[in-house]
Amino acid sequence: MLCTIKGPFAELPRMPFPVAAGFGFAVLVASVVRSWRRAAQSHERETRLLCEFQRAFDQSTLAWIRLDTNFNVTAWNEASEKLFRYPAAEAMGKQIVDLIVPAGIQEQAFGL
Protein backbone atom coordinates (compact mmCIF):
# COMPACT_ATOMS: atom_id res chain seq x y z
CA MET A 1 0.00 0.00 0.00
CA LEU A 2 1.35 3.43 -0.94
CA CYS A 3 1.32 6.31 1.52
CA THR A 4 -0.02 9.75 0.59
CA ILE A 5 1.82 12.60 2.27
CA LYS A 6 -0.46 15.27 3.73
CA GLY A 7 0.18 18.35 5.82
CA PRO A 8 3.03 20.88 5.79
CA PHE A 9 5.48 18.52 4.06
CA ALA A 10 3.18 17.68 1.16
CA GLU A 11 4.67 20.39 -1.07
CA LEU A 12 8.33 19.47 -0.59
CA PRO A 13 10.16 18.10 -3.64
CA ARG A 14 8.58 14.82 -4.62
CA MET A 15 10.39 11.52 -4.74
CA PRO A 16 10.97 10.18 -8.26
CA PHE A 17 9.54 6.90 -7.02
CA PRO A 18 6.58 6.07 -4.79
CA VAL A 19 7.33 5.78 -1.07
CA ALA A 20 5.70 2.76 0.44
CA ALA A 21 4.64 3.02 4.04
CA GLY A 22 5.91 0.12 6.01
CA PHE A 23 9.16 -1.53 6.96
CA GLY A 24 11.17 -0.10 4.03
CA PHE A 25 10.14 3.46 4.86
CA ALA A 26 11.06 2.90 8.51
CA VAL A 27 14.50 1.65 7.45
CA LEU A 28 14.94 4.73 5.26
CA VAL A 29 14.01 7.06 8.11
CA ALA A 30 16.29 5.18 10.52
CA SER A 31 19.23 5.48 8.12
CA VAL A 32 18.62 9.22 7.68
CA VAL A 33 18.52 9.71 11.45
CA ARG A 34 21.69 7.63 11.82
CA SER A 35 23.39 9.79 9.14
CA TRP A 36 22.36 12.96 10.97
CA ARG A 37 23.78 11.58 14.21
CA ARG A 38 27.05 10.67 12.50
CA ALA A 39 27.26 14.13 10.95
CA ALA A 40 26.62 15.73 14.35
CA GLN A 41 29.27 13.54 16.00
CA SER A 42 31.73 14.34 13.23
CA HIS A 43 31.04 18.06 13.59
CA GLU A 44 31.47 17.81 17.36
CA ARG A 45 34.79 15.95 16.96
CA GLU A 46 36.02 18.50 14.39
CA THR A 47 35.07 21.40 16.66
CA ARG A 48 36.90 19.79 19.58
CA LEU A 49 40.04 19.26 17.47
CA LEU A 50 39.95 22.86 16.22
CA CYS A 51 39.66 24.10 19.80
CA GLU A 52 42.61 21.92 20.85
CA PHE A 53 44.66 23.22 17.92
CA GLN A 54 43.79 26.83 18.77
CA ARG A 55 44.77 26.26 22.40
CA ALA A 56 48.10 24.72 21.31
CA PHE A 57 48.65 27.61 18.88
CA ASP A 58 47.98 30.24 21.55
CA GLN A 59 50.00 28.58 24.34
CA SER A 60 52.96 27.31 22.35
CA THR A 61 56.46 28.51 23.12
CA LEU A 62 57.24 27.99 19.42
CA ALA A 63 56.59 30.80 16.95
CA TRP A 64 53.59 29.68 14.88
CA ILE A 65 52.49 31.79 11.94
CA ARG A 66 49.44 30.97 9.82
CA LEU A 67 49.43 32.30 6.24
CA ASP A 68 46.86 32.50 3.48
CA THR A 69 47.55 31.54 -0.15
CA ASN A 70 49.08 34.97 -0.86
CA PHE A 71 51.53 34.62 2.08
CA ASN A 72 49.67 37.19 4.18
CA VAL A 73 49.66 36.59 7.94
CA THR A 74 46.31 35.32 9.22
CA ALA A 75 47.46 34.25 12.71
CA TRP A 76 50.44 35.24 14.82
CA ASN A 77 50.97 33.78 18.30
CA GLU A 78 52.67 35.28 21.33
CA ALA A 79 55.95 33.46 20.66
CA SER A 80 56.00 35.03 17.18
CA GLU A 81 55.57 38.44 18.79
CA LYS A 82 58.60 37.82 21.00
CA LEU A 83 60.78 36.38 18.22
CA PHE A 84 60.02 38.90 15.46
CA ARG A 85 59.11 41.87 17.72
CA TYR A 86 55.87 42.70 15.96
CA PRO A 87 52.58 42.69 17.89
CA ALA A 88 49.93 40.43 16.40
CA ALA A 89 47.71 43.39 15.52
CA GLU A 90 50.50 44.89 13.43
CA ALA A 91 51.49 41.62 11.73
CA MET A 92 47.98 40.57 10.71
CA GLY A 93 47.35 40.96 6.99
CA LYS A 94 50.95 41.81 6.09
CA GLN A 95 53.12 39.74 3.78
CA ILE A 96 55.36 37.40 5.75
CA VAL A 97 58.42 38.46 3.73
CA ASP A 98 57.95 42.07 4.86
CA LEU A 99 57.99 40.93 8.49
CA ILE A 100 60.79 38.36 8.69
CA VAL A 101 63.23 39.30 5.90
CA PRO A 102 65.29 42.44 6.64
CA ALA A 103 64.52 45.33 4.27
CA GLY A 104 68.09 45.52 2.96
CA ILE A 105 68.13 41.97 1.61
CA GLN A 106 64.55 41.53 0.39
CA GLU A 107 65.70 42.04 -3.22
CA GLN A 108 68.23 39.22 -2.81
CA ALA A 109 65.59 36.99 -1.27
CA PHE A 110 63.24 37.53 -4.22
CA GLY A 111 66.11 36.98 -6.68
CA LEU A 112 66.69 33.42 -5.50
Domain ranges (residues) in the chain: 21-59, 61-112
Q: Write the burial class of residue 76 (CB in 10 Å: 0-12 exposed, 13-18 middle, 19+ buried).
A: buried
Q: Which residues contact 12 (CB under 8 A, 6 or more apart)?
A: none
Please check whether the domain covering 61-112 is classified as CATH 3.30.450.20: yes
Q: What is the pLDDT along the chain (112 residues), one digit of tens a residue?
A: 444 555 554 455 555 555 555 566 667 777 888 888 888 888 888 888 888 888 888 888 899 899 999 999 999 999 999 999 999 999 999 998 888 888 778 777 666 5
Phi/psi zone of residue 96: left (φ > 0), alpha (ψ -120 to 50 degrees), beta? alpha
Q: Give the whole-angstrom CA distance, residue 40 versus residue 9.
A: 24
Q: What does pTM read for this prediction?
A: 0.53
